[in-house]
Structure 1
């Protein structure tokens, strides 16, 4: 055995992205440029004719091939039902999903998508745009409730345990930076109460099903009057109202949060009903999402997105937990 054969494969998503180009028709081959690094590495592919594609290089061990194919099957069904969704590009072999492993590089799954034009919204987004998002989300949920999923369909379930439990895929909130013993105790009490509320709320089919699960501002593109939802990589089974909690990710304590929620609900109810129990569970879901994001921040501390949150974000997260426990969050959103 040579020394090269003994060397462990390196993790190099840039090399994966470059090697993946040969899997696609000439018209889809270009220069991959890193757009963002989160769970996956996402690249903009600049084509010779001036067009663009998006290449998603999957994080190893996060989703297996069957889970990714299940995501793509849902996207295909959504488009057939007239709902805007990302469009994957078939490779030369006719497949959407490929596994790429250049010599000496640890292999990863890749999927190429057609480029979607638009601008990523910020916290300054017009609150009325949340009404549009609520309508889109209601259509997603209506499709989810009615869709007969294909055999072998498999996606992760986002439950209390998988979001804030000790073995949650996004990490442990206990490892968030800057938390003292008192802060730990506050979050732990919030987690316990949230678990009890969600157990009472239940997982009946009218409340729990296939959702996007990461409908935050970073996964929206605004183009004129159109709102495009992107990045279904975390889609899975959870509470339908979780998509509202995710919509305000990282901005749960923003002054406009109550207005955002009100507009979202108004838009949603134009298509699907929101019951009183669904409204009452929102403070628990919103707080749980914030705690989940604390865990994610701890496991992604060196990323630009986490650094952009600033040094006080975790402290503000603890304050949100206090507001939840004291009932102030429920009063703020009027639910």
Structure 2
């Protein structure tokens, strides 16, 4: 079945606009070119987010744009809504941001000045957290929670990572021990941890380089969580880079130019971020390249959890 793109575009007054498919997973995304500008039409995967969550994301994006962050700007349809429904699919239209991704998973970064870029990224993450703290969402705002329950409870946001069917008995034991120890540490330190709205998915593909500017895109998984989770996400996929120590230091320093940051528990959050992928991949095992990604996710999680446990 083809996506209802022409029907969706008509709701924004863009009938006949040129469009090209550019990506598909949680959203099926089309780049739309029109006399009014370029946009991203997003057709949502049914069941991934509730309608109130999707509407809240668009309110959040609008507020972050108004606060000066370089994020996609949601567009109202002809009816005045940010979110519409077409043939059973929730759809929205957001501004298109030019630029190239910071990088791609599984390949080496190709940056002229990696530490400088990560310094700017750290500053942008701090600006995002500042803007989120200053914003007061309207009643009814709802997003997922990357909290103790959402990370380590019985039904984590991205799945029961300790039940990944490809884990060896030893790996399963390490992840179970990590889950227990991490739960204890987080429970004991909750009052000390910076918490609020976070992007939660600042991987390479969701940071666009546009000259001297960095754009932050794809807030699909954003919600309430620990600020160190955003830091860990931005770092995790870059640990194999030759310049990683300098990149890490630059990102932390960049963040601290705008906002305090306590990194005493960063190793815990690196491991927490790694195990989320071990759960995320479970329902996606039949996708192309899933076996290789699964092996990589498990290897990363096993290594970081062992380091955290001293095992």
TM over 0.5: yes
Aligned to 2:225: 238
Cα displacement string for residues 168-225 of structure 1 (whole angstroms, at most 9, x for unaligned residues): 2322223435321011001111122221221122156x71111111111111110111
CA contact (8 A) 1:221 1:229 kept: yes
Alignment partner, residue 96 of structure 2: 115
Structure 1 position 219 matched with structure 2 position 206: yes
Name the structure 2 match of 1:55. Answer: 41
The alignment covers a number of residue pairs equal to 304
Query: Which residue of 2 is the match for residue 315 of structure 1?
Result: 299
Whether 2:150 is the aligned partner of 1:162: answer: yes
Q: In the alignment, does 2:256 pair up with 1:269?
A: yes
- Counterpart in the other structure of 2:62: 76
Structure-2 change in CA distance of 1:66 and 1:133 (3 Å): same
Match of 1:147 in 2: 135
Contact 1:67 1:153 (C-alpha < 8 Å) held by counterparts: yes
Residue ranges of structure 2 left out of the alignment (5+ in a row): none
**Partners of 2:132 and 2:57 in 1: CA distance:** 12
Q: Please say if 1:260 is aligned against 2:247.
A: yes
**Alpha-carbon distance between aligned partners in 1 of 2:202 and 2:296, rounded to the nearest angstrom:** 24
| 2:115 aligned to which of 127, 147, 151 | 127
The two structures have a TM-score, normalised by structure 1, of: 0.82
What residue number does 2:24 align with? 37
Report the Cα offset of residue 228 of structure 1. Answer: 0.3
Q: What is the distance in 2 between the residues matched to 1:194 and 1:295?
A: 16
Structure 1 unaligned residues grouped into runs of 5+: 1-11, 102-106, 328-335
Task: String of CA shifts for 1:134-190, please: whole Å, max 9, x gaps.
Answer: 111111111122222212211111123223443223222234353210110011111
Name the SS for the 1:127 alignment partner. helix
1:10-67 Cα distance to aligned partner (Å, 9 max, x none): xx5x4233431221113x75354332222222222344x6963211111222222222
- Maintained 8 Å contact 1:156/1:236: yes
